[in-house]
Amino acid sequence: MHTKPIPHAEAASAFLENKERVQWHDETLWFVRYKRDKIVNEIPEWEQLRDLASQIKDHTLSQLDQYLGQFEAAAIANGVTVHWAADAADHNRIVHSILAKHKAQKIVKSKSMLTEECHLNEYLETQGIEVVDTDLGERIVQLNKEMPSHIVLPAIHIKKEEVGEIFHQHLGTEKGASDPLYLALAAREHLRQKFLAADIAITGVNFAVAETGAIVVCTNEGNADLGAHLAKVHIACMGIEKLIPRTEHLSVFLRMLARNATGQNITAYSSHFRKPQPGSEMHIVIVDNGRTTQLGREAFRNSLKCIRCGACLNTCPVYRRSGGHSYHNATAGPIGAILAPNLDMRKNADLPFASTLCGSCTDVCPVKIDIHNQLYQWRQVLTQEGHVPAAKAAGMKVMAGVLASPARYSFAGKWARKLLRWFPSLALNKTFNPWAKQRDLPAPPKESFREWYQKNGGSK
Amino acid sequence: MRVALFIPCYVDQFYPQVAIATLKLLQHLGLEVHYPMQQTCCGQPMANGGFEHLTHSCNSNFIKAFDGYDYIVSPSGSCVLHVKDHLHDHQQETKATQIRQRVYELCEFLTDIVQVQSIKASFPKKVALHQGCHGQRGLKLAASTETVVPWFSKPVQLLKMVEGLELVDLDRPDECCGFGGTFCVTEEAVSSAMGLSRIADYAKHDAHVVTGTDMSCLMHQEGLIKRRKLNMQILHISEVLAAGL
């Protein structure tokens, strides 16, 4: 966790070695984007909804302290215990203390990217406590000892045949079975046992409503509900940015979330939790873990508007061809690439460069985060903070010097073209010039445009 | 109307025919066009690489080259977007602002300012349009498929005026080709894979010619096409619009 991960380019290159799998990965995610396009085009006021959602989130972030206070007071009045965690370690300790108080050993957890970000499962394992992830995709990657590769579709990198093998090993399904219905039923049977036996259920939070103290959890499998209703104790973990001011604002966000995420009208379950059942406990752990730092960075503040729909991953041509794990961060893709440097600049300095700045992420974002602009801005920050290779910095200085002067530029251009004509093999050396690995170079013309123009003038 | 021609540095050095086609096209429409010799580069390669702080001299030089023109026109959506978004100079910010407001990509200049209704060009071939991302999503040369807005495309509007030209439909009409500036070498594997996907889309729809608003995207795809010796021609949109003039 503290060592420097494999850089994105290298991990992506390895992922791309299996061309067939990459094509499948690309087409699967593109199909999700296609379904998303189809369903959002059924809503003529989609762009107005985006504006509204963005404004609600901007407003909330501008008064986040007040809304957090309002939310806490309302939750406490509802009989909920509210905890504040400054960072991931704090969050993990708080969750563990609740488990310890109840001597809980059997824990079920529905999907929560925050607990992934905090590495809660690993932490609890070191305390001798096993957590069962109950979202089907998350259970698959958990059994396979992997991280989710996508924030909405955690096991999108795994084919059904491989799921069959994982289930055969861990759940005792028939060897070679890959029928999705058969495998889903086996997972259902397996997870039902876990739900029924659970002491404590942990869930994430999609939206926290300041005026009522309620939290809303969106799932397609109903696993958050099964967990929270069967266990005696419900722990909900949320980042401070999950707040919305009023219940009525859900009418904006719930219309957008599933449509933009998976092309559904709405998630199968949008569950509102407000107060514990008689005889039960409900805890909400509110986590900062770098979010106030991000709130203080003006250029990056609005990344906190994210509702984790995952559409920027699906649309990203780089993500589709490099896979979620190449981002070495709990949240992958374009949104992960602007959130991760805030958590650890050194470790994640490669991520803002893993983009062509095509802007598709920005156009698909339901809350109008200017993702590609933030990628650009992070590049500037990372360079200024010294997180780019020295050779690149030296090369850029030379380039800036040449391009600042028409004389130096013309001279350099002329000689570059001559050298290319004289020694084409130099430029086509695949070790020195990555361009040439799979691409030819343009044929260098004898004359630049400016040379032509000087001879021919502007003559008509 | 004084129009300055802004030719991206790599077009000047490697694709002079694109600059010549742009010049001829504009002159054909009766415009008085100048090419300021002072120009070099807009600074985008440094800025996108994280070195915007090194672009100051480039910016000053750009202002020196293009100050005083009514319009600055360039056959590149990407370079124009960079100038629009990032050309600043605290010593002459008024001039910088004026240039940011007067710089146009070729297609938008033709459709919005010149408001051309017809072009005499003839190009009887099956053509695929690669819509460069910076032009499309940045300059809004065309509606992007992510957004819910009425469809429009300035490059398509112009290509439809060309006699005999057949524009093919693509499976992914606005997917990035993977050029991305320094990205094309720092993320070589992803970049090439993205480019090859685009080329497969053109081939699937039997396009013989690929055109676009940015020679940088096209240079990357041309490199992939040539290495594989595919029978597909790459031409900048200015060359198509000036065909037969």
B:202-231 residues touching chain A, CB 8 A cutoff:
219-220, 222-224, 226-227
pLDDT in tens, B108-136: 999 999 999 999 999 999 999 999 999 99
Q: Tell me, what's the pLDDT at A424? A: 81
Q: Tell me, what's the pLDDT at A458? A: 58
pLDDT in tens, B142-162: 999 999 999 999 999 999 999
Q: Tell me, what's the pLDDT at A423? A: 82
CATH of A43-289, one of 3.30.360.10, 3.40.50.10420, 3.40.50.1000, 3.40.50.1220: 3.40.50.10420
pTM of this structure:
0.96
Confidence of residue B240 (pLDDT cuts 50, 70, 90): very high
Tell me the percentage of chain A whose pLDDT exceeds 70. 99
Q: Tell me, what's the pLDDT at A1? A: 47
Sketch out chain B's domains with CATH numbers.
Answer: 2-113 (3.40.50), 126-241 (3.40.50)
Q: Tell me, what's the pLDDT at A430? A: 79
Q: Do A458 and B58 touch (CB under 8 A)?
A: no
Whether B8 has its CB under 8 Å from any CB of chain A: the answer is no
SS3 readout for chain A:
CCCCCCCHHHHHHHHCCCHHHHHHHHHHHHHHHHHHHHHHCCCCCHHHHHHHHHHHHHHHHHCHHHHHHHHHHHHHHCCCEEEEECCHHHHHHHHHHHHHHCCCCEEEECCCHHHHHCCHHHHHHHCCCEEEECCHHHHHHHHCCCCCCCCCCCCCCCCHHHHHHHHHHHHCCCCCCCCHHHHHHHHHHHHHHHHHHCCEEEECCCEEECCCCEEEEEECCCHHHHHHHHCCEEEEEEEHHHEECCHHHHHHHHHHHHHHHHCCCCCCEEEEECCCCCCCEEEEEEECCCHHHHHHCCCCHHHHHCCCCCHHHHHCHHHHHHCHHHHCCCCCHHHHHHHHHHHCCCCCCCHHHCCCCCCHHHHHCCCCCCHHHHHHHHHHHHHHCCCCCHHHHHHHHHHHHHHCCHHHHHHHHHHHHHHHHHCHHHHCCCCCCHHHHCCCCCCCCCCCHHHHHHHHCCCC
What are the residue ranges spanned by the domains of chain A? 43-289, 298-384, 399-456
A:335-394 residues touching chain B, CB 8 A cutoff:
353-360, 362-364, 376, 379-380, 382-384, 388, 392-393
Given a cut of 70, the residues of chain A with pLDDT beneath it are 1-2, 458-460
Mean pLDDT to the nearest integer, B49-72: 97
Contacts A–B by Cβ distance under 8 A: 220
Q: Tell me, what's the pLDDT at A425? A: 79
| Mean pLDDT estimate for chain B | 97
Selected residue of A45, A259, A348, A358 to mutate for chain B interface (largest B Cβ count, 10 A):
A358
Write the residue in A9, A41, A384 that is nearest to B53 by C-beta. A384
Give contacts of B193 with chain A, Cβ < 8 Å: 16, 22, 321
